[in-house]
Amino acid sequence: MYDYEDGKLDWLAAGLPSEGTNAERPRAGDVARKDVPTCRLDERLGDVRDRVREAGWDACVVLNEERVVFGLLRSKELETDPDRRIEEAMRPGPSTFRPFVSIEEMAAFMIEHDLDSSPVTTSDGRLVGLLRRQDAAKAALELHEREHHSDGGKA
């Protein structure tokens, strides 16, 4: 007999699939945008900004070689001196969230704390994607409407 000591929390935090009633409801990891631009600490801000804008984004996640999140560049940071290195320009150590957190919880938290976007990471800090507040709010609203209607309007 074997004991998976880290348990279900570890499994879900790694963004691995699960079964059950919650598995059918969207979570942070499902809604987070996987196509978010990323950059490295030693890049030049101007180069990163051009790349980010070309991709139609206003945010970029700073990663190391193992795809661990080190920082975040939002539009405010992207606007600064183009010759700065990313490690000087970024917001270091942003709050990150695990992929299994329910989308309603995420939407409420982001609205309450006025967060435009938040990185979603595995428990060892590797990037899953960037969750944008409008995406979280939209998904939470759609879920609410779906569940309300499927309940015959009794909610």
Partner 1 sequence: MPQPIDRDEVRRLVDRGAQLVEVLPPNEYEEDHLPGAISMPLRRLEKEARSSLDRGRPVVVYCWDSA
Q: Which of 2, 42, 153, 154 binds partner 1 (CB under 8 A)?
A: 2
> Shortest Cβ distance from residue 100 to partner 1 (Å)?
8
Site string for partner 1, 93-122 (x = CB under 8 A): -------x----------------------
Closest among 101, 125, 126 to 29, alpha carbons compared = 101
Strand partners, 91: 72
Classify 131 as helix, strand or coil: strand
Tokens of 88: 């000087």
Look up tokens 């490295």; give the residue: 40
Q: Does 24 bind partner 1 (CB under 8 A)?
A: no
Span interacting with partner 1, options 6-14, 52-60, 74-82, 87-95, rule CB under 8 A = 6-14
Closest among 33, 111, 109, 37 to 74, alpha carbons compared = 37
Residues that bind partner 1 (CB under 8 A): 1-12, 14, 16-23, 100
